[in-house]
Amino acid sequence: MHGYGRTTASLLFLAGLVVMLYALFQALPFGAAPMQVGQEIVSRAPGETGAANIVTAILLGYRGFDTLGEVTILFVAATAAGLILSGAGAGDLPKAPGGFILKAAADLLFPFLVVLGAYIILHGHLTPGGGFQGGAIMAAAFFIPLLASPTSPLNHSTAALVEGFAGTAFIVIGLASLMWGEAFLTPFLGKGTLGDLFSAGSLPLLYLAIGLKVGSELAGLMARIVEVGGKS
């Protein structure tokens, strides 16, 4: 395991892997995407979901359940990280303040980022972007001030509150359709006009929940790492 033996062996196997993966991928018909399901979705999505962005239609409609899982993974990761880091000696070392420029810039950036994030979330069903992207920007909005002034930590309980409610909201929206005898996550509310802000039924609501949840989770997660990471 020591010396160059492993490197050599790794390189050999790696070379083999590369060759074989390449052979494998070359056998795939590139540019002739199968489009079995894809084509059908493209043709049916506008009618069924009312979302102009077909990727969004898939994410929230056809594969909405995946998205729930995805959100959950972030939540799991955040919880697990919290669990793992809970024993670490957080914040017993004084952290260097970020300085005035950084602080002022962060304060300045905050509203812009929040608004941008909200915009991207709300237009997720119309344009590229959506809950995740927006949520990430939102998280950045809360995370940047933390980097600028490490001494004022993020309010984790608020984040958790937002997180919890957002997640609950997603599921409750999903469960709501059960009451009408429909399957879980069946879109409701009117589909509206394709391309309008208030269209695509409940999908934007889901995106909102996702955005809030992703934002709070990412912020919490990174904040935790920073809090502990400052020490070691």
Q: Kindly list the distances between the CA atom of residue 23 and the CA atoms of 9, 29, 30, in Å, as whole numbers in the listed order.
A: 21, 12, 13
Burial class, 64, CB count within 10 angstroms (exposed 0-12 / middle 13-18 / buried 19+): buried
Question: In the set 37, 104, 108, 197, which binds another protein (CB under 8 A)?
Answer: 37
Of residues 72 through 101, those in contact with another protein by CB under 8 A are 72-88
Three-state DSSP class for 141? helix
Nearer to another protein, 113 or 219 (CB): 219
| Distance in Å, CB of 102 to another protein, minimum | 23
Query: What is the nearest approach in angstroms of another protein to the Cβ of residue 1?
Result: 6
Nearest approach in angstroms of CB 158 to another protein is 11
Give me the least distance between CB of 224 and another protein, in Å please: 7
Angle formed by the axes of helices 64-85 and 203-229, to 10°?
20
Site for another protein (CB under 8 A): how many residues? 110
Question: Tokens 């309010």 map to which residue?
Answer: 155
Say how far apart CA 228 and CA 82 lie, in whole Å.
10
Residues 6 or more apart whose Cβ sits within 8 Å of residue 73: none
- Per-residue binding string, another protein, 154-193, x by CB under 8 A, is ---x--xx-xxx-xx--xx-xx-xx--xxxxxxx------
Site for another protein in 44-73 (CB under 8 A): 44-46, 48, 52-55, 57-59, 61-70, 72-73
Q: What's the full length of the chain, in residues? A: 232
Q: Does 140 bind another protein (CB under 8 A)?
A: no
Least distance between another protein and beta carbon 100 (Å): 29
Among 3, 27, 141, 197, binds another protein (CB under 8 A): 27
Residues 195-224 within binding reach of another protein (CB under 8 A):
195, 214, 218, 221-222, 224
In the structure encoding, which two tokens stand for residue 11, read together?
């390189």
The two structure tokens encoding residue 204? 């934007």
Tokens at residue 38, please? 């894809």
Q: Confirm or reject binding of residue 232 to another protein (CB under 8 A).
A: yes
Q: Which of residues 118-137 bind another protein (CB under 8 A)?
A: 127-128, 132
For 219, what's the count of Cα atoms within 13 Å in the CB-facing half-sphere? 31
Determine if 41 is a binding residue for another protein (CB under 8 A): yes
